[in-house]
Structure 1
Amino acid sequence: LIRKKAKPGLGARIRGFFHKPKTAAPAGPTEAPAPTTAAESPQQAIDTALTLAHGSKLAEAIELLQRATSQWPEEAPLLHVLGSLLGQQGNVPAARRYLERAVEISPGFAGAHTDLGNVHQLGGELEAAATSYQRARELEPGNPNPLATLVQLQLKQTDLPAARDTLQVLIEIAPENVEARLSLANVDAELGQLPQAAEGYRKILEVAPESPDIQSRRGLTLNRMGEFEAAKRSYVETLRLAPDDYRHHNDFGLLLARMGEQDDALNCLRRAIELKPDFAGAHINLANQLKDQRQLQAAIDSYQTALKLEPGNADALNNLGNALSDCGRIPEAIARHRQAVEISPEFAEAHSNLLFTLLYDPAVTTAELQREHQAWADRHGCEPAQDPAVHVSDTSSRPLRIGYVSADFRAHPIGFFIEPILRHHDNERFHVTCYADDAHKDEVTERLTALPARWRSLAGLAD
């Protein structure tokens, strides 16, 4: 269980919901008295209203501007500021009405188009919001504000490719915008473009070298890429900067486990628990490592601690079931797997583990096994695809190409079973390539890679 990081760079790091009107509030006290006389000009009304709004008198600012728009109904800046303040108040219909009127009167008013997009977004009108932002962008190509708000919308719609394109344009306009660069690196990581993400984090660290969170993100990305030594260096630096952050100890422990440095991994995970005893994820991760080292009772104890903290944690229940099964405590294991499936019905792995464990219970009949397997197929299976027509050319003059894809070319049943197959392939008749979907290596991996087959690493690549 790898802790899922919060993603402040995905939208939340690009702020500025409502475009600030170009006319700034006059300097002075934040607590402005309510005006007793009508404004002498639209600009005076705007200045006074902004002063009131900045002084937490939003309702009075709106009332003043509503009176002013009755006197000057065709003043686009006045309508724009009133619409923006109504948007801040949450009055979407009124805000939309005033901002639409502002852009109708002044079609080239980019700020009003931006805030109209904000109001559309606030009202759930996402397509209309995108149209407004695009229009503002066309009117002021060098203004980063419409791009920043457009990125927020695209991320809200989980349209990551579009967000990536917009962020690249935003960075061209404002190359010093570190938050935009962070958002781009985060989007690259989400899209599985890991080398670009790692490079993005590296460049951010050039200007913000003392940021433990950026170091940690880079370490996590390098870990996913299988670049373990580089990831380790990032985590060492992360912990130098934030030695008491339980999250970084947890993540570093997971990396060390992948590197085979089990003792150090256990120490990191135990330190994470010392710093944050109620973090169930660290207890689960510690239990996983203890289970891998065959310290089964200690693993069971850690899983149970995690379940005291989060009784409905399906991962902990599933993994506890596996540990109990390894101990031969089959009825208890079955019960835990059933709990995991009841809590998370779409958890196919837990359901599969339940089927596997049932095979070890002599009290379970063949008919019951069939029903259980059919239930799995009904929930997680799919209709078998029709075999496509295969047109095979004459292969008599060339070797047949065969590819094996697995994450288990190691000390695992697949690793053991594939070894004699690879060893005895006729290399003149078969062109064999193995695609390893895991960067973990052991002595079995070394034996396999020494055999006459080509090897490609898929570690860290998205589906």
Structure 2
Amino acid sequence: MELTIEQALQQGVAAHKEGKLQDAERLYRVILQSQPLHPDANHNLGVLAVSVNKADEALPLFKTALEANPKIEQFWFSYIDALMKEKQNEVARQFIEQAKEQGVAREKLNVFETQLASKNKPENIKSAGPSQVQLNALLEHYQNGRLGAAEKLAVSITQEFPQHQFSWKLLGAVLGQAGRMSEAVDANQTAVTLSPQDAEAHNNLGNTLKVLGRLDEAEVSYTQAIVLNSNFAEAHNNLAVTLQELGRLVEAEASYTQAIALKPDYAEAHSNLGVTLQELGKLDESVARHSQAIALKPDYTEAHSNLGVTLKELGRLDEAEASYTQAIALKPDYAEAHSNLGVTL
């Protein structure tokens, strides 16, 4: 049976996520044989080329994608980044200006402009970046929960060294922990723009977008993280959570399963998969997953409560009661477990 263009693209993206790069390339090229100007196939094939340090081969692919659909911001970022990798700085400047005219967010383009400006400085006056002492202090503040001090130092570093991608990543994490998600999105987007091949940065951006309810955008970020690092178990789990919230349960099940295959002791992924299986009506499998999560992490409150939900649905009320009671023992103010226990009794 011959694949449709959409089916070939879906299979190509799936292979790309799983790290099956030859299969992904073959499927993208099948699409281009039929539709040479297909924007997603061209762009994804370009991403593949960049991932193996062939930015020169990516350039015509990114350009075709951009010309086919200039409304997609990521197409602009990928093309400009590849131009700079190939030291075509003047062309990159021209496309930055074109991107501005198309309405691409200026704050994202400013990062590229800063990089280009730095490239024009004589080597002896280039900013090397923050000192190791500053970075150690930044990490220490963050790891010890001193978010105010961490934010102040991260802001200072990013102002002095606007190309220092790690500082933007940490600033995004600090702002996210402080609940300032809109600002965290901006910081994480800057980190992604500075280093489009950083899978962790894409995952971080997805996390903040998901909290803001921007699920379609979060899905794109997690997918890009997986494309860049197919062994990134946390990104597979986060993508699955997003798919679950979007109501795409079968896809969520597949992503959770992939996360667990990569990291068998991933208690959160086991429990999350248990919730999805319960929603799909696969109750015995759901019990097994929640039980595995608890075996891996006995103090995992949510897993005990989730197990109780599934046991109750199976009519195993005494066991459900025991699970809810254990959840409450671990977290006495766990309102959901109290409510579920009340309904079960």
User: TM-score, structure 1 length as denominator?
Assistant: 0.43
Shift of 1:153: 5.8
User: Cα deviations across residues 42-77 of structure 1 (Å, max 9, x unaligned)?
Assistant: xxxxxxxxxxxxxxxxxxxxxxxxxxxxxxxxxxxx
2:256 alignment partner AA: L
Task: Pick one of 210, 213, 222 that aligns with 1:223.
Answer: 210
Q: Contact 1:246/1:276 (CA < 8 Å) preserved in 2?
A: yes
Which of the numbers 266, 273, 288 marks the counterpart of 1:301?
288
Q: Secondary structure of 1:277's partner?
A: coil
Q: Does 1:212 align with 2:203?
A: no
Quick check: 1:268 aligned with 2:255? yes
Aligned residue number for residue 221 of structure 2? 234
Matched-pair identity in %: 28
1:378 corresponds to: none
Cα distance in structure 1, aligned partners of 2:239 and 2:212: 15
1-structure distance, mates of 2:284, 2:130: 61
Q: Contact (CA 8 Å) 2:199, 2:225: kept in 1 or not?
A: yes
Whole-angstrom CA distance in 1 between matches of 2:174 and 2:344: 40
C-alpha displacement of 1:145: 7.0
Any idea what SS the aligned residue of 1:196 has? helix
Pairing of 1:43-58 with structure 2 (within 5 A): none
Give the counterpart of 2:324 among 337, 340, 343: 337
In the alignment, is the contact (CA less than 8 A) between 1:144 and 1:173 conserved in 2? no
Partner of 2:312, secondary structure, is helix
* 1:171 correspondence with 2:158: yes
Which amino acid in 1 is paired with 2:221?
S
Q: Is 1:321 matched with 2:308?
A: yes
Q: Is the 8 A contact 2:166 2:191 kept in 1?
A: no
Higher helix proportion: 2
Greater Cα radius of gyration, structure 1 or 2: 1
Conservation of the 8 A alpha-carbon contact between 1:144 and 1:174: no
The answer on whether the counterparts of 1:205 and 1:211 sit within 8 Å (CA) in structure 2 is: yes
> In the aligned structure 1, how far is the partner of 2:143 from the partner of 2:292?
36
Mapped to 2, the partners of 1:256 and 1:309 lie a distance apart of: 25
Match of 1:244 among 208, 212, 231: 231
Match of 1:330, as an amino acid? L
Per the TM alignment, residue 353 of structure 1 is displaced from its structure 2 partner at its CA by 2.3
The 2-side partners of 1:156 and 1:262 are apart by: 35
Q: Which residue of 2 aligns with 1:349?
A: 336
- Tell me, in whole angstroms, the C-alpha distance in 2 between the residues paired with 1:143 and 1:305: 45
- Quote how far apart the aligned CAs of 1:317 are: 1.3
- Per-residue deviation at 1:265? 0.7
Structure 2 CA distance, aligned partners of 1:145 and 1:275? 33
In the TM superposition, residue 218 of structure 1 has moved relative to its aligned partner by: 0.6
- Distance in 2 separating the partners of 1:168 and 1:154: 13
Offset of residue 289 of structure 1: 0.9
Partner of 2:266: 279
CA RMSD of aligned residues (A): 2.4
How far did 1:215 drift?
0.7
The structural deviation recorded for 1:201 is 1.6
- Structure 1: state its 5+ residue gaps: 1-141, 359-463
Residues 298 and 150 (structure 1), Cα distance of their counterparts in 2 relative to 1, 3 Å cut: closer
Aligned twin of 2:10: none
Secondary structure at the aligned position of 1:175 is classed as coil
Q: Deviations over 1:396-451 (max 9, x none)?
A: xxxxxxxxxxxxxxxxxxxxxxxxxxxxxxxxxxxxxxxxxxxxxxxxxxxxxxxx
Q: How does 1:399-414 map to 2 (within 5 A)?
A: none
Query: Contact 2:142–2:174 (CA<8 Å) still a contact in 1?
Result: no
Matching of residue 258 in structure 1 with residue 242 in structure 2: no
d(CA) in 1 for partners of 2:185 and 2:277? 31
Distance in 2 of aligned mates of 1:156 and 1:314: 24
Residue of structure 2 equivalent to 1:379:
none
2:170 aligns with: 183
| Alpha-carbon distance in 1 for matches of 2:233, 2:290 | 18
Q: For the Cα contact (< 8 Å) 1:250–1:282, is it kept in 2?
A: yes
CA separation of 1:158 and 1:280: change in aligned 2, threshold 3 A: closer
Query: Over residues 198-250 of structure 1, what are the superposed CA-to-partner deviations in whole Å (9 max), with x where a residue is unaligned?
Result: 22122122221111111111111111111122111111211111112222111
Amino acid across the alignment from 2:145: T
Cα pair distance change 1:341/1:164, threshold 3 Å: same
Amino acid in the other structure paired with 1:219: G
Whole-angstrom distance in 2 between the partners of 1:257 and 1:219? 15
What is the deviation of 1:342? 2.6
> In the TM superposition, what is the alpha-carbon distance from 1:337 to its structure 2 partner?
1.4
AA partner of residue 223 (structure 1): K
Quote the Cα distance in structure 2 between the aligned partners of 1:223 and 1:153: 27
Cα 1:267–1:149 change in 2 (3 A) is closer
1:197 counterpart residue number = 184
Q: How far apart are 1:157 and its partner, in Å?
A: 5.8
Determine the C-alpha separation between the residues in 2 that align with 1:199 and 1:189: 11
Q: 1:298 to 1:154 in 2, by over 3 A?
A: closer
The 1:332/1:271 distance shift into structure 2, 3 A limit, reads: same
The code of the aligned residue for 2:181 comes to: L
Q: Do the aligned partners of 2:199 and 2:228 also contact (CA within 8 Å) in 1?
A: yes
Q: Structure 1: how far apart are the matches of 2:318 and 2:235?
A: 37
Is contact 2:304–2:323 with CA below 8 Å preserved after alignment? yes
Q: Distance in 1 between matches of 2:140 and 2:238?
A: 31
